[in-house]
Chains A and B, each alone.
Chain A
Amino acid sequence: MRELSYRHALREAFDEELARDENVVLLGEEVAQYNGAYKVTEGLWEKWGAKRIVDTPISEAGFIGMGLGASMLGLRPVMELMFWSFHSVAFDQLVNNAANVRYMSGGLINCPIVVRGPANGGTNVGATHSHVPEALFAAFPGLKVCAPATPADAKGLMKTAIRDNDPVYVMENTMLYGNMGPVPEASEGDHLVPLGKADIKREGSDVTLIAHGRSVLRALEAAEILQNDHNISAEVVDLRSIRPLDQETILRSVMKTNRAVCVDESKAFGGVSGMVATLIQEHAFDSLDAPVKRVCSLDAPAIYSPHVEDEQLPNPRRIVQQVLTIA
């Protein structure tokens, strides 16, 4: 299969959906003429023009609310936050309006928007630019959240998100944009990855590592170390979608391995892994041979220092260490 970068796979998703539906419009800071702060939207303005690919001023509350209002009239705005960290200046639009309008109108309105952009630590940009808010937004009924780890999932989830009739918040990752991976050719048909479907990225029998986003890749690295150095066979479940959540796949894997370690770049308090651990203890309690463990980001604002930032994040060393406490 051909290989594409994560950013190229995303771009292909936009390009195909722009062609498929004239109501799809891309909005955001530097997405058009600048070709995207991370070159995710490179070439799209040139191809599709200023009506479909719209540069906005640095005005997140304004343009996200604008896209949301336009979605009520049937547009499908795909709005880029240059960093998901900037959600805080648009929070009223992202939550009070996007998550609630359908409910407060008794189901008369739906908002088919996508808000997307990178949400990750690891690039030494300090606490204001390193938020990973997937658990935060997944906590609001009315919103959907996903976090692809591979180029193929990035493309497939983005296309699904654009077609979904509810607000979908896609958490990308600046550390993944350059990663290469196999992505099916467009000629093989629409490559769609459904929301709510996890993926087993590595099969194993001794412990289940449950992760999403870049943490999936760190978990895969850890699984390799566990196999080679400790003869422990780790299964890696990539959640892909946070809400809806594939509870079934999580439980099936844990019931097989009898041990679970959640790997989650969120902070532990209220993180995605908190929800996953709760579901495991509630539904697979009798299958567990050990407490569910978590490897989250160390519980402080994101540190800048390139010397130690990686130690704040879930990394293979920390994952292996945690697995060894129960396996």
Chain B
Amino acid sequence: MPGPADTKFANLDFASSPINSSLTPEEKIGIYRDMVRIRRFEHQALAQYQKPGKMGGFLHLYNGQESVAVGTVSLCGEHDHLITAYRNHGHALAVGMSMDECMAELFGKAGGCSKGKGGSMHFFAPDKNYWGGHGIVAGQTPLGLGLGFGLKYKDLPGCALTFLGDGAINQGAFHESLNLAALFEIPVVFIIENNGYSMGTSQRRSSAYRECLAQRAEAYDMAWDLVNGEDVYEVRAKTHIAMERARKERQPTLLEVDTYRYYGHSVADANAQKYRTPEEIERYKTNHDPLILWKQLLLNEGVMTEEAAKGIEDAAKDEAKQSVAFAEASPAPTVESIMDDVYWETDNNTEASKIGRHFFND
């Protein structure tokens, strides 16, 4: 099985890999725009969360990890699908969901992507091959496996990108998914977004491993690789290899992307500044920020000007601000709507839905 030996220690030039050298200037700028939009959305979400009465529940911010969602989604075609856990705003925006519907969902409004029924952890857009947005750690990994199973069963030439955090790798459902993926030769790419902490517990304190987490794939005779998440070119190059392995050879891969989150596990993470030092966070923000690095790279390549970058940043700020106005203006769900979207049959008022009692209210 191909492991990372060939790439791990080599100082490879990912920019010149075919999947990257074929990128047009517009596509490269698009990647920057998508990352900036996620960052601005999350900043605005945090600002709104901190105001009383705007949002309930949790808010798991994606700041620092933008290159992972944007880099991988930029490789997706018509038959590629994705699914992730609760830190899902970045993936949602990357696949093309609007800031309006996402912000309205955070506000619990009827205009939200899930009509205010899912909240921060549960964004979905099946029309964009995006299957959520799942709240239970690793609970989405068998579902991602199933998307791959479905693709293979229907003989469709795609793959299923299944994202998880480093805290999910110790759950049984994940290991069951790895075994089944290898056993059944499922076109799935498991992507561990390793931000170093499962909530407040560091990787070293939560996982037993020799060199890295993805190495666990070897136990399942599965291909794996390590990815430096701060570099969009590397994310794209290595994910592309895994996706092609899935699409063409019907073989799964386990990728571990080294990344970092700037905020706590969620905004409610009271110890966000305690289990890691401010210096550590600052070091990432200064030296490893994927937006800064990609912007500098595009400036160096002469693809983007400072002025154009500023325009993108301003536009994203405005878009995020406007999404708040949209969310504010959107009506709250009605009490009656609580009873919708439980069963397909009752929602569609089918003959079957008229037989027997489906709901047991007073």
Contacts and interface: CB of A to CB of B under 8 A. Distances in A.
A197 interface: yes
Contacts of A244: 355-358
A60 to B, nearest CB: 8
Nearest to A60: B176
Contacts of B147: 69-70, 72-73
Interface in A124-176: 141-142, 144, 160, 164-166
Given A72-B126, A96-B139, A106-B115, A142 B149 contact: no
B126 A93 contact: no
B180 A243 contact: no
A101 interface: yes
B144 A69 contact: yes
Interface stretch (B21-29, B61-69, B248-256, B342-350): B342-350
B234 to A, nearest CB: 28
Given A64-B142, A69-B147, A165-B345, A109 B126 contact: yes
A104 interface: yes
B145 interface: yes
A92 B173 contact: yes
Contacts of A196: 352, 355-358
A287 B39 CA distance: 65
Contacts of B357: 196, 244-247
Interface string B176-188: 1101100110000
Contact of A241 (B122, B150, B356): B356
Chain A CB within 10 Å, residue with most, of B112, B135, B183, B342: B342
B149 A106 contact: no
B260 interface: no
Interface residues of A, number: 54
Interface residues of B, number: 59
A73 B188 CA distance: 14
A195 B352 contact: yes
B113 interface: yes
Given A102-B341, A107-B341, A194 B180 contact: no
Contact of B180 (A66, A92, A103, A144): A66
Contacts, number: 184
A247 to B, nearest CB: 5
B356 A59 contact: no
Contacts of B183: 57
A243 B131 CA distance: 27
A179 interface: no
Contacts of A61: 142, 172-173, 176
A28 interface: no
A70 B183 CA distance: 17
A72 to B, nearest CB: 6
B40 interface: no
Given A56-B180, A61-B172, A107-B347, A72 B150 contact: yes
B9 interface: no
Given A93-B139, A106-B115, A196-B356, A66 B149 contact: yes
Contacts of B124: 104-106, 108-109
A197 B114 contact: no
B126 A108 contact: yes
Given A165-B344, A165-B345, A245-B357, A70 B150 contact: yes
B135 A62 contact: no
A63 interface: yes
A253 interface: no
Contacts of B359: 141
A68 interface: yes
B132 interface: yes
B84 to A, nearest CB: 13
A107 B140 CA distance: 18
A101 B154 contact: no
A196 B343 CA distance: 14
Nearest to B160: A69
Contact of A194 (B83, B127, B355): B355
A51 B144 CA distance: 19
A316 interface: no
Nearest to B172: A61
A70 B146 contact: yes
A75 B347 CA distance: 20
Most buried by B among A61, A112, A241: A61
A73 B341 contact: no
A160 B312 CA distance: 54
B340 interface: yes
B60 interface: no
A74 interface: yes
A204 B73 CA distance: 65
A141 B139 CA distance: 19
B133 interface: yes
B118 interface: yes
Given A62-B176, A165-B344, A195 B136 contact: no
B117 A104 contact: yes
A110 interface: yes
Nearest to A246: B356
A-B pairs with lowest CB-CB distance, top 9: A196-B356, A69-B146, A65-B142, A62-B176, A244-B356, A73-B150, A107-B341, A106-B115, A69-B143
10 contacts: A57-B179, A65-B139, A70-B146, A73-B151, A93-B173, A105-B132, A106-B112, A106-B118, A164-B345, A197-B356
Given A57-B180, A105-B117, A245-B357, 11 more contacts: A51-B153, A62-B145, A65-B177, A70-B146, A75-B153, A96-B136, A97-B134, A104-B114, A164-B352, A196-B355, A197-B355
